[in-house]
Amino acid sequence: MLSTAVQRWIEIVGVWDTGEVVFLSTLIVSILIMLYAMSLIHRKISLIEGEIQAMRNDQRVISEELELMARFKSKASSASSTI
> Is pLDDT of 53 > 70?
yes
DSSP letter for each residue of 4-37:
HHHHHHHHHHHHS-HHHHHHHHHHHHHHHHHHHH
More confident residue, 82 or 44: 44
Task: Give pTM, 2 decimals.
Answer: 0.59
Give me the residue spans of the domains in the chain: 2-82
Break the chain down into helix, strand, coil percent, rounded to 5: 95, 0, 5
Mean pLDDT of 5-9: 79
